[in-house]
Structure 1
C-alpha cells in the first residue's frame, strides 16, 4: 500500500461526506492526476474502496500540496508524504482557499485535463479568477461559494452517468423556470472501465440574501409557542402565505420538468410494484425500530390501497428529496435546490420516472417536522401538541392550495398514493432517527399513528 492510500484510509472515514461509516474496508486503491501546477499544486484523486461485503465505492478527493505546513489550514490537513528525502504536505483542497480558483478557470475555458472534462453552460456567466469559500453545512457533497456570483458543488461519491442535479437544472434552464438557480456549467470524469463518465461537479448562480425554508418555518413555530392563547393564523409569524407560494413554485417546477423531460402514464404494474416495495421497506424497518410493529397492520392496508387504486398518475422526473431545507426564499419568490434525489440511492434509480406526489409527500412530512421539532425531549404538553398539529395542518393545506391553483389539480385530495408515500417517508424517517437521533424518533412515530389510521 502506498503512503497516499494509507493516508486516505485514515482520513476518509472521518469526513462528513463519507457514506461508508462503520463498514469494514477490505482494500483501498487510488489514481490521481494534476489539475493545476501553481502554488499550491492541485491534484485530484479517485479513491476506490472495497468493503468486506464485496461492495465497492469511489470517492473524489482533491488535494493541495505545500512544501511547508500551513498552520491556518490545520483543520484541512490530510497528511505528509515523503519524496526524495523531503516531506510534502497534503491538504483537503476544498478547504484551501488558495487552491479553489482553478475549478472556475477550467470551466470558463471549457478545458479537458487528464480524464476530466469541463463544460460551461453558456457564455460569460462564470466568475473566473475568484477564490471559493467552503459551505460548512454540506454533508454528502462539498460546496464552494465564489463571491456573490456562483456556487460550486463537488459530488464526492462517483457513479457512472449524468447526475440528476445537472440534468434537471440544465433542462429547467432551457425552460427559463424562475424557481431554480441557473446552471452555469458542470464537470465530468472518464470512467477507467469504459462506462459512462461520472459527474464530478456543477456550478450554479449563487442566490444572495436568501432565507432557508426550514429556518423560516421553525421561526414561525417558535412565534406560535411564544403566544399562549393565539391560533396559528393569528400569530405575526404566520407561515401559511409562504407555504402557499412554495406550493405554487413546486407546481411550476413540476410542470416544466414534465414539459422538457420524459413522461409516461403509470401502468397498473407500477402501482403494484410501488405497493410491494413499500411493504418490504416496512418489514426491514421493523427490524430496526420495533415500535413500528404497532402500526404495521394499518400501514399495510395503506400500501395495499395503492395496488388497487384507479387514480391516474403521469410519471415524470421529480426532485426526489424535497423538504424545507431544500428551498430558499428570496425577495421575489421561492428557489428550489438540489435535484440529485436521495444521495444514498443508486444514481440510476434517482433518474427513474416517478409521481410528483413523492415531492408533495416529502414537503408535507417536512411541515410535520417543523411543527414538532421543539417538542422533542420536552415534558408532555397537550396544548403545545394541539398547536403543533394545528400549525402543520394549516401549512400543509396552504401548500396544497398553492400547488392546486398553479397547476390546476389538487395534489392533496383523496389520493391513496399520496397517503402511502407520506407513510413510506415516515417509515424511512423512523429508521434514520433510530440510528442517528433517537430523541427525534417521536416525530415520525406520531405521524404514523395518523397515517396508519390509529388516531
Structure 2
C-alpha cells in the first residue's frame, strides 16, 4: 500500500474577492447551476485549496463557494469549482473561459473552468492514485482504512497499482447536473457540482453494493471529500455532517450504450426492445436484493405509510395549483393515494429499503457483452440528502422505469402502438424472475408511485419543456381513471 501524500495548501484571503465579479456572471449560465432565474447577490467561501501554485504557468484552485440569491430560503447552495489561471488562454480552452482578473492575487491572469483542461484533470487523478491529503481535501480509496472493508472484489483491496499513472483525461461534454471526466477509457470521475454536507448516496450505495459483491454497479475505486480533522468516513454516519463528498471514481464501461439512447435507437428502427427490458428488470432486481442484504430494511404499516401518502397528496395539490390542466384529474389521482392508505388501514404492510431513488433508462448502461449496469445513485439532486437516504418501497424505482418506457415511446413520431406496454410487461417479468415477486401483483402500490412520478413530471415539463407536457398528461389520464 502506498503512503498518502500530505501537504498543506494556503490561499490568499483576497482570492474570492478577486473572482466574485466574474463568478457572478459566469455561474448562473452553467447547466448545473440550480438557482436559475434569480441573480446571485453574494458569495461565501466555504473552502479554498491551492492545487498548483500560481507562480507556475498554470495555477489551479479548488473552491467550495456558497451562492446567495434573493428569495432563496436557507444559507444558499454550495458549488464545487475547479478554477484554472493562465497568463493567456489557448483557443482550445475558449469555451471554458470565466474572465480576466484585474484585482487580487490573480491580477492579469485569465481564469477558466479547469475541468476542460487535461492537465488539471490529471492532477485530480494523481491525487487519488497517491491518496493525497491537500489542506482539507482528502483523496481516498477503499481498503486504505478510510472507507472500511478490505475485499479486493469490492473496491480493489490495497489498491497498489490499481490506478496507473499517466492516463489521459477528457471531459464528458454532454450537458448534465454534474461533471464527468474519463481517464484513458479506464475510469470515469463524477464530480458533484452542487454539494451538501453529509453522507452522499452516490458513494454510500455503490460502496455497499460492491462489498455485497453485486456486479450490476461499477464499484468505487476512489473518492474525493473534505475533512477538517482527518477522521471522517464520508460513506458512513461518522462525523459526516462536517464532510462534503465531492467526487467518485469508478471503472469506465468501455463501449457501453446508454439505456435511453439504446431504446430510442431501437424504436427508430422499429425493433423489439422487450428482451432488453426484461434483462433490465433482472438487473434492477439484483440491485434491490443486494441493497436489502447490505443495509437495514423497515416494515411500513399504517403509521409509517400515512406520512408517505400525505406527502403524495401535498405534491398533487401543489401541482394542481402550478398546472391548472391537472385540475380535472385531481380527484382520480388522489384516489390512487387514498387506495394505498386504505390498504394500510386494513392491516397491509410493505417492506421499505434503500433504493436507487431516481431510476430511468438514462441511469442504465448496457455493456458490449449485453450486461446491464445501474449508475448515478445520487437520487433527486433537488432533495436534501436526508430525504434521499430514506428507505422506500422498491416500487418507487420500478415506477420510475415504467414512466421512462412511456417517455421513450412518445419520443418517436409516429408512435409504435403498444411498444411501451410490451416493455413495461417485460421489465416487470424480468424483475419477478429474480425476486419471485412481480410488481404488477401489487397494483395499488405501483399505481400510487407511478401517479406520484407522473405528477412530478407534469410540473417539470410545464416549467421547462412545454412541448413534452402531453407525455405525462397522457399518463395522468390513464392513472386517474377508476379501476
Q: What is the TM-score when the length of structure 1 is the normalising length?
A: 0.91
Cα distance between partner residues in 1 of 2:18 and 2:225? 27
Cα distance between partner residues in 1 of 2:266 and 2:19? 49
Cα distance between partner residues in 1 of 2:245 and 2:105? 35
Cα distance between partner residues in 1 of 2:22 and 2:107? 17
Cα distance between partner residues in 1 of 2:92 and 2:283? 43
Q: Does 1:294 align with 2:328?
A: yes
Cα distance between partner residues in 2 of 1:108 and 1:406? 37
Cα distance between partner residues in 2 of 1:39 and 1:205? 32
- Equivalent residue number for residue 474 of structure 2: 446
Q: Can you list the C-alpha shifts for 1:378-417, whole angstroms capped at 9, x where unaligned?
A: xxxxxx56x43x1111110000000001111111223312
Cα distance between partner residues in 2 of 1:292 and 1:110? 53
Q: Does 1:93 align with 2:108?
A: no
CA deviation after TM superposition for structure 1 residue 450, in Å:
0.8
Q: Does 1:323 align with 2:343?
A: no
| Mean Cα deviation higher: 295-304 or 192-201 | 192-201
Cα distance between partner residues in 2 of 1:431 and 1:86? 45
Q: Does 1:400 align with 2:428?
A: yes
- The counterpart of 1:369, out of the listed 407, 421, 438, is 407
Cα distance between partner residues in 1 of 2:258 and 2:423? 16
Cα distance between partner residues in 1 of 2:313 and 2:228? 36
> Size of the alignment, in residue pairs?
433
CA deviation after TM superposition for structure 1 residue 267, in Å:
2.6
CA deviation after TM superposition for structure 1 residue 366, in Å:
0.4
**Measured at CA, do residues 40 and 297 of structure 1 come closer, stay the same or move farther in structure 2, by a change above 3 Å?**
same
CA deviation after TM superposition for structure 1 residue 372, in Å:
1.1
**Measured at CA, do residues 6 and 282 of structure 1 come closer, stay the same or move farther in structure 2, by a change above 3 Å?**
same
Q: Does 1:181 align with 2:218?
A: yes
Cα distance between partner residues in 2 of 1:445 and 1:339? 27
Cα distance between partner residues in 2 of 1:136 and 1:194? 31
- Equivalent residue number for residue 64 of structure 2: 46
* 2:85 match: secondary structure: strand
CA deviation after TM superposition for structure 1 residue 194, in Å:
9.6
Q: Does 1:22 align with 2:37?
A: yes
CA deviation after TM superposition for structure 1 residue 36, in Å:
2.7
* 1:265 match: secondary structure: strand
- Equivalent residue number for residue 379 of structure 1: none
| Mean Cα deviation higher: 67-76 or 342-351 | 67-76
Cα distance between partner residues in 2 of 1:150 and 1:400? 32
CA deviation after TM superposition for structure 1 residue 149, in Å:
0.4
| Mean Cα deviation higher: 64-73 or 22-31 | 22-31
- Equivalent residue number for residue 349 of structure 2: 312
* 2:412 match: secondary structure: helix
**Measured at CA, do residues 404 and 89 of structure 1 come closer, stay the same or move farther in structure 2, by a change above 3 Å?**
same
- Equivalent residue number for residue 10 of structure 2: none
Does structure 2 retain, via aligned residues, the 8 Å contact 1:258–1:316? yes
Cα distance between partner residues in 2 of 1:265 and 1:87? 61
Does structure 1 retain, via aligned residues, the 8 Å contact 2:57–2:87? no
Does structure 1 retain, via aligned residues, the 8 Å contact 2:40–2:67? yes
- Equivalent residue number for residue 202 of structure 1: 248
**Measured at CA, do residues 368 and 191 of structure 1 come closer, stay the same or move farther in structure 2, by a change above 3 Å?**
farther
- Equivalent residue number for residue 87 of structure 2: 67
CA deviation after TM superposition for structure 1 residue 278, in Å:
0.7
CA deviation after TM superposition for structure 1 residue 69, in Å:
2.5
Please, which runs of 5 or more residues in structure 2 have no aligned partner?
1-15, 143-155, 230-238
- Equivalent residue number for residue 229 of structure 1: none
Q: Can you list the C-alpha shifts for 1:35-65, whole angstroms capped at 9, x where unaligned?
A: 2336522111111112222431110111111
Q: What is the TM-score when the length of structure 2 is the normalising length?
A: 0.86
Does structure 2 retain, via aligned residues, the 8 Å contact 1:298–1:454? yes
CA RMSD for the aligned pairs?
2.0
| Mean Cα deviation higher: 141-150 or 37-46 | 37-46
Cα distance between partner residues in 1 of 2:115 and 2:186? 18
**Measured at CA, do residues 419 and 85 of structure 1 come closer, stay the same or move farther in structure 2, by a change above 3 Å?**
closer
Cα distance between partner residues in 2 of 1:332 and 1:372? 25
Q: Does 1:104 align with 2:125?
A: yes
Cα distance between partner residues in 2 of 1:332 and 1:246? 10
Cα distance between partner residues in 2 of 1:85 and 1:108? 29
| Mean Cα deviation higher: 188-197 or 279-288 | 188-197
